Chains A and B, each alone.
Chain A
């Protein structure tokens, strides 16, 4: 059985990768299993300079999900390249750098710096809901998505994945804009903005007031969006949003994702990625699927 998938010219051992921000730089989970068992590790969102992130409280549990507002705390792109990337690459897995900036120029600079490293793929985060500048502001207007993708692409020597925000009326518009501007692949969905209010203090639980919702609660929304985008673009899609099992992953693949990412569920089960991969394998065995790529976009719509 073939589980290898190709994302914009980069071959992944299998379609299971980690969602940025849920997996650090890999090593916490590397205590549980060998990272080369999964297709790739998408690292914590990086910025040009180190970032402190938001004050606590940064997380609230919600029905079947979590709301977070970490605010892109990270040690900066240089630290990633000098300290985290070498040991991540040494594991044999593929490294995906997730980059964020406050301005288009910063995104371009980030792409340039990361392109000069051993990173395999770059994921451009234009959909972080937890920072005041940049982030989601870039990701919700198709025109801006096109402009930033085009500019970054000029400075990017690695395959560029554009991570789309679900906080839009029609996600196919931003998807098409990214594709037209040269994106090599798309990843979706980022978190859905949400709020939790403590009725006793009458204040939002998160210090940042709003945060990004993830976990099983968002899965149907994510599957729908992957399906819509898959029917609007030709570039590969990395699907994510609430995946906790092989069955969930297969749903995303049938909707049109070539690879999938596991995020929030890593917190619940540190072996989540491995279990998702095992589940994909079992499904393929059960239905005599020789190549997981055969399943991509295989969902049959009702009349």
Chain B
């Protein structure tokens, strides 16, 4: 499979403070799966390594990525103009394993971890989507999610939706309504809480992990994620190749 892909920017728009919504014309995008990522060369400056960015959506040879400008790589990417070529390795990693039989699927996302959940939500039948953000200004993709899911939102400061942690809201919902599967992506403390909820109610749960990467394809071994080993001990799996989506029961949180 040829993982080396050249796309063309058709939109690169700031949708919230430092959050950019990029659409890329990209042959083969239709084969990308929810939860997979692309490793993008951020040209025009001195960012050396590619930047791994999750796939927000992919359809009709169009790839959608949403990224936060955090360092020099994403800053360079935010300067990309319409028509500019994007050098990517794509699609990478193992995405979510969709279980369409599971009733009342629950999706829990936090912060920039909400973006890779859109494509997943689209492929499920009216999932319950829980999105948590720091504040109202960072709440994005509402319209996209509302079309295809039942949306629940929380903010840390209460400026939009429920005030508090999204995991509290999700836990309450699950307790009252039940679910047969949980999918999640977000910051580590949130994923740890999601795993705890899944274990408490004995619900299968898939979580998408993030770690600093080098190659993005499983050669350099830097994106280590502590997981349970067969012998009861732990091992370091690699987010780029073994993940980014793991069964929550495998992941060991510190």
24 contacts between A and B (CB under 8 A): A23-B219, A24-B221, A28-B217, A28-B218, A55-B226, A55-B236, A56-B236, A58-B221, A58-B224, A61-B73, A64-B48, A66-B49, A68-B214, A68-B220, A70-B220, A70-B222, A70-B224, A266-B215, A266-B219, A267-B214, A267-B215, A267-B216, A269-B41, A271-B4
Given contacts A58-B212, A60-B212, A268-B41, contact A32 B4 (CB under 8 A): yes
From residue B132, how far is it (CB to closest CB) to chain A in Å? Answer: 23
B22 close to A (CB within 8 Å): no
Residues of A within 8 A of B50 (CB): 267-268
Size bracket, chain B contacts: 20 to 34
- Find out whether the CB atom of A270 lies under 8 angstroms from the CB atom of B217: yes
Would you give the 0/1 interface string for B98-112, flagging 1 where the beta carbon is closer than 8 Å to chain A? 000000000000000
Are B48's CB and A268's CB within 8 A? yes
Encode A182-209 as 1/0 by CB contact (under 8 A) with B.
0000000000000000000000000000
| Contact yes or no, A53 B221, CB < 8 A | yes
For chain B, residues 68 to 93, give those with C-beta under 8 angstroms from any C-beta of chain A: 71, 73, 89
Give Cα A47 to B234, complex, Å.
Answer: 19
B219 pairs with A268, CB closer than 8 A: no
Q: A21-B221, A28-B217 are in contact. List 15 more A-B contacts (CB 8 A).
A: A28-B219, A29-B219, A32-B2, A32-B4, A56-B211, A56-B224, A56-B225, A59-B220, A59-B223, A66-B214, A70-B220, A73-B236, A215-B48, A267-B219, A271-B4
Which chain B residue lies CB-closest to A62?
B48
Taking a contact as CB atoms under 8 Å apart, the answer to whether A52 and B219 are in contact is: no
A70 touches B215 (CB 8 A): no
- For chain B, residues 202 to 217, give those with C-beta under 8 angstroms from any C-beta of chain A: 211-217
Which residues of B have CB within 8 Å of A215?
A: 48
Chain B residues with CB below 8 A from A28, complex form? 215, 217-219, 241
Is A303 an interface position by the 8 A CB rule? no
- Chain A 26-84 interface residues, beta-carbon cutoff 8 Å to B: 28-29, 31-32, 44, 52-61, 63-66, 68, 70, 73
Chain A interface bracket (under 10, 10 to 19, 20 to 34, 35 or more): 35 or more
Given known contacts A68-B214, A268-B48, A268-B50, is B221 in contact with A73 (CB within 8 Å)? Answer: yes
6 cross-chain pairs, A with B, having the tightest CB-CB distances, nearest first: A24-B219, A59-B222, A58-B222, A28-B219, A267-B215, A28-B217
B49, B218, B223, B224: the one contacting A61 at CB < 8 Å is B49
Rounded to whole Å, the gap between the CB of A161 and the closest CB of chain B is 21
> Which residues in B have their C-beta under 8 angstroms from that of A270?
3-4, 89, 215, 217
A216 within 8 A of B: yes
Instruction: Assess whether A22 is interfacial by the CB under 8 Å rule.
Output: yes
Residues of A within 8 A of B220 (CB): 21-22, 24, 59, 68, 70, 267
Q: Number of residue pairs across A and B with beta carbons under 8 Å?
A: 100
Decide: B49 and A267 in contact? CB cutoff 8 A.
yes
The answer to whether A22 and B46 have CB atoms under 8 Å apart is no
Which of B47, B236, B241 is within 8 Å of A52, CB to CB? B236
Binary B-proximity of A260-273 (CB < 8 A = 1, otherwise 0) = 00001011111100
Instruction: Tell me which residues across on chain A come within 8 A of B234, comparing CB atoms.
Output: 52
Contacts of B223 in A (CB 8 A): 56, 58-59
Per the bound structure, the CA–CA distance linking A252 and B236 in Å amounts to 36
Residues on B with C-beta less than 8 A from A268 are 41, 48-50
Task: Known A60-B212, A215-B48; judge A73-B224 contact (CB<8 A).
Answer: yes
Contacting residues, chain A, for B47 (C-beta < 8 A): 61
A217's closest neighbor in chain B, by CB? B48
Give the CA-CA distance A21 to B221 in the complex, in Å: 8
Are the C-beta atoms of A24 and B212 separated by less than 8 Å? no
Q: Could you say which residues of chain B place their CB within 8 Å of the CB of A65?
A: 48
Contact A55 B41 (CB under 8 A): no
Q: How far is the CB of B176 from chain A (nearest CB, A)?
A: 37
Docked-complex contact A57 and B215, CB < 8 angstroms: no
B235 at the interface (CB under 8 A from A): yes
User: Would B212 and A52 count as touching, CB distance under 8 A?
Assistant: no
A33 to B222, CA, bound (A): 23
Q: Say whether A53 contacts B3, CB under 8 Å.
A: no
Q: How far is the CA of A29 from the CA of B50 in the complex (A)?
A: 16
Contact of B212 among A23, A54, A57 (CB under 8 A): A57
Query: Is A32 in contact with B212, judged by CB distance below 8 angstroms?
Result: no
Closest to A52 in B: B236
Q: How far is the CA of A264 from the CA of B214 in the complex (A)?
A: 9
In this complex, what residue of A is CB-closest to B73?
A61
Q: A44 to chain B: which residues have CB within 8 Å?
A: 221
